[in-house]
Amino acid sequence: MHTSPARICVAGAGAIGCTLAARLAASGQQVKVLARGATLAAIRENGILLSDLDGEHRVRVEASDDAAELGRQDLVFLCTKAPALAGLLPRIAPLLGPETMVVPVVNGVPWWYFHGEPGRFAGQHIAAVDPNGVLTRTLDLRHVLGCVVFITAHCPAPAVSQAQNPHLMIFGELDNRMSPRLEHLRALVAAAGIEARASGRIRDPLWTKIIANLSSNPLSVVTGATLEQLYGQAELRELASAALHETLLVAAAYGARIDIDPRGFLEQGAGMGAVRTSMLQDYDKGNPLELAAIGDAVLELAGRLNLPMPVTRNLIALARFRGSQAHPTRSTT
C-alpha cells in the first residue's frame, strides 16, 4: 500500500471537489486538481478557500486542465456532475497506474451499480446513466471504489467553497469486500477531518443518499425552496414524503437495507436550514440538471419491477421542463 503522503488528484473543482481538495491538502497530502476555465485560473492565482465548521482553510495546490501534466496518482476523486462523466473519464487516463484507486463522488445511481453484485441482478446495465456503455468501457472498474458523500456545500465564487454542515463520506468495494485499500482510503479521508466510514454494503447508504436527493432536488427546482422549506412546510413536506416512500419501495425491491425513520428523516432535512440543493444551484446557473442519475435511473429500476412512482415521475417531469427553460451558461468547474 502507498506510503503517506499520498498522491491525490481531485478531478472537478466545484463545491464538493474544492471542499475535499482543501481538507486533504490541509492534512498534508499531496493534492493536485484537474480543473478548467475560471476555476483553474482562480486556483492558480489564489489557491482554494474553504469555509466550514472548523473555520477557514486556504490551500495552494497544483492545478491543470491537462491530466498528463499532473502525472500518475495513487487516488483520484471524480467530483464532477454525473452528466459530465462521459467527457471526464477519457481525460483521466494519464492519472491512472495499475493500482490507482478511482472514487466517483457523484449523485444518483452510479453506472457501476450492478458490477460485483451477485444474484439475479448481476451484470445488469442502467441505460439512464450509461446509455451506450461508454462509461463501463472507458474505465476498468477494478480501479473503482463506491462512495456516498453527505456534504452540503456551495461555491459563491470560483475555487471558493462554503460548507456549514458536518462532512461525512462512506466508501465501499463494489463487490462488498472489506479490503486493505478500502481501509487505507477511509483512514486517509478521516485524517483530513472528514467523518469517513467503510461499508461492506455500499449500496445501502447509496440508497439513503438517493432518497435524500430524489425527495428534495426535483422539488427544489420546481419551487425554488430550500431544504428547510421542502421538509418543513406542510404542503411541500407532503410531496417530499411521497417521493421518499416511493423510492424506499424501489430500494427495498433491489435488496437494500435502509435504516430510515421517515418522520425523523424529514425533520433532519428541515433542520439543515436554508440550504439550496445542488440541483437548484445548477438551475440557478443555467447548468444541466442531474435528472438522469438522480431521477431517470430510479424510474428505470422501478419500471423493471413494475413499481409505480407517480409523484416522483411528475416531479422529475416538472423539474425537467423548468430546466429546459433556464438560460444556459458556461460551467466553470
Helices (H), the chain: 15-26, 37-46, 67-70, 85-88, 134-138, 180-190, 203-214, 217-223, 227-232, 234-253, 262-270, 278-285, 291, 297-304, 310-325
User: What are the distances in angstroms from CA 74 to CA 116, 217, 292?
Assistant: 22, 33, 30
| Angle of the 234-253 helix axis to the 262-270 helix axis, nearest 10 | 130
Q: CA-CA distance, 141 to 111, in Å (whole number)?
A: 10
3-class DSSP state of 139: coil
Q: CA-CA distance, 126 to 122, in Å (whole number)?
A: 12
Cα 153 to chain centroid, rounded: 12
Cβ atoms of 213 and 107 closer than 8 Å? yes
Cβ atoms of 299 and 246 closer than 8 Å? no
Q: Is 209 designated active site?
A: yes
Going by the DSSP 8-state scheme, the letter that residue 301 receives in this structure is H
Rounded CA Rg of the chain = 19
Cβ atoms of 216 and 231 closer than 8 Å? yes
Among the listed residues 32, 81, 209, 285, the single catalytic one is 209
Q: First vs last Cα of the chain: how many Å apart?
A: 31
Q: CA-CA distance, 178 to 187, in Å (whole number)?
A: 13
* Residue with the three cell numbers 462509461: 135
Cβ contacts of residue 140 below 8 Å, gap of 6+? none
Q: Which residues are catalytic?
A: 209
